[in-house]
């Protein structure tokens, strides 16, 4: 498919949530051995809110829900940080700049930081969970004077599994504290060792003015939310991004139903007040 055909297909799919548009890959960056970021050219009318996701489609293979990981202010561009986990993601990661990808979206709820202007913000991420939080971090950098302190607490299994490592210094220079932890350090690691929820102990929190945003493995989010609650942060100021089994993105198939919620349609960003009781329900 050439570029002009791709742009025509993109235009045709704008108004139908089930019809993919096609976007050209501008660049690909390796984050870790099995995680790459694909930057797609979406067109001048493209926009999204931090925390939303797209369905990326590979003809003859299928599609997968992938969070958007770029800055919301980048006109016409959508970055997707993808971990190799199956046929669709493996096919996407085999592509090269200039290839095209089917896209449906954007879908879902977003990180509502603007509701909490002036608040102190804690961002807690585990592994690939930093990808849907990166647009929030970049948006906060662009509106740094509208909020109080910002702490990013991020962990991975090993140092080699940390995403966006070349960007941490720029985040710090922009007034965001970044604390890192790993489960299994190597000989060169000189930062924290342990789980992400434990990093909350090092943050001086004023509960009534603090908001927590978290994404990562569900067990990490569960214990991070518990730690936040133990510090007095209210349930309606704790936000989690759930990504369970999102297959259609519009609530038709029911695969992502969690209690009375459809993660793709009603989320993926929820308050703990709304979704917390379901975090203890196993997938089946």
Q: What is the pLDDT along the chain (284 residues), one digit of tens a residue?
A: 433 433 444 444 456 778 889 999 999 999 999 999 999 999 888 899 999 999 999 988 999 999 999 999 888 999 999 999 999 999 999 999 999 999 999 999 999 999 999 999 999 999 999 999 999 999 999 999 999 999 999 999 999 999 999 999 999 999 999 999 999 999 999 999 999 999 999 899 999 999 999 999 999 999 999 999 999 999 999 999 998 778 888 888 888 888 889 999 999 999 999 998 888 766 54
Residue intervals in the chain for CATH 2.40.30.10? 3-107
Alpha helix (H) residue ranges in the chain = 3-12, 87-93, 130-142, 168-173, 196-199, 218-230, 263-266, 272-275
Q: What is the rounded CA–CA span in Å between residue 15 and residue 188? A: 51
- pLDDT of 275: 92
Residues paired with residue 122 on neighbouring β-strands, in sequence order: 151, 212
Q: What is the DSSP string of 3-72?
A: HHHHHHHHHHTTT-TTS-EEEEEEEEEEEETTEEEEEEE--TT----TT-EEEEEETTTEEEEEEB-S-T
Q: What is the CATH number of domain 113-280?
A: 3.40.50.80
- pLDDT of 14: 57
Q: Say what the pTM is.
A: 0.91
Tokens of 193: 């060792």
The answer to whether 75 and 44 have CB atoms below 8 angstroms apart is yes
Residue intervals in the chain for CATH 3.40.50.80? 113-280
Residue 30: CA count within 13 A, CB half-sphere: 5
Looking at the domain 3-107, which fold is it? Elongation Factor Tu (Ef-tu); domain 3 (2.40.30)
């Amino acid at each position: 498919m050439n570029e002009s055909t791709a742009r025509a297909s993109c235009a045709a799919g704008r108004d139908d949530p089930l019809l993919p548009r096609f976007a050209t890959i501008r660049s690909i960056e390796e984050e870790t051995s099995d995680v790459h970021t694909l930057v797609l050219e979406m067109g001048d009318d493209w926009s999204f809110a931090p925390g939303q996701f797209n369905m990326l489609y590979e003809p003859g293979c299928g599609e997968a829900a992938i969070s958007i990981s770029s800055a919301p202010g980048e006109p016409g561009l959508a970055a997707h940080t993808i971990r190799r986990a199956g046929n669709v993601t493996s096919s996407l990661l085999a592509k090269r700049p200039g290839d095209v990808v089917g896209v449906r979206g954007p879908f879902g709820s977003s990180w509502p930081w603007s509701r909490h202007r002036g608040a102190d913000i804690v961002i807690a991420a585990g592994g690939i969970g930093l990808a849907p939080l990166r647009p929030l971090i970049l948006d906060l950098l662009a509106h740094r004077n509208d909020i109080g302190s910002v702490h990013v607490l991020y962990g991975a299994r090993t140092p080699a599994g940390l995403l966006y490592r070349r960007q941490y210094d720029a985040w710090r220079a922009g007034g965001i504290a970044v604390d890192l932890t790993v489960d299994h350090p190597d000989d060169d690691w000189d930062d924290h060792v342990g789980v992400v929820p434990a990093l909350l102990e090092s943050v001086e929190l004023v509960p009534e003015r603090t908001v927590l945003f978290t994404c990562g493995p569900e067990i990490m989010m569960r214990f991070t939310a518990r730690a936040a609650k133990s510090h007095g942060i209210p349930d309606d100021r704790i936000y989690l991004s759930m990504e369970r089994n999102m297959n259609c993105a519009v609530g038709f198939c029911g695969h992502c139903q969690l209690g009375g919620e459809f993660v793709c349609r009603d989320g993926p960003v929820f308050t703990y007040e709304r979704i917390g009781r379901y975090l203890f329900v196993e997938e089946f």
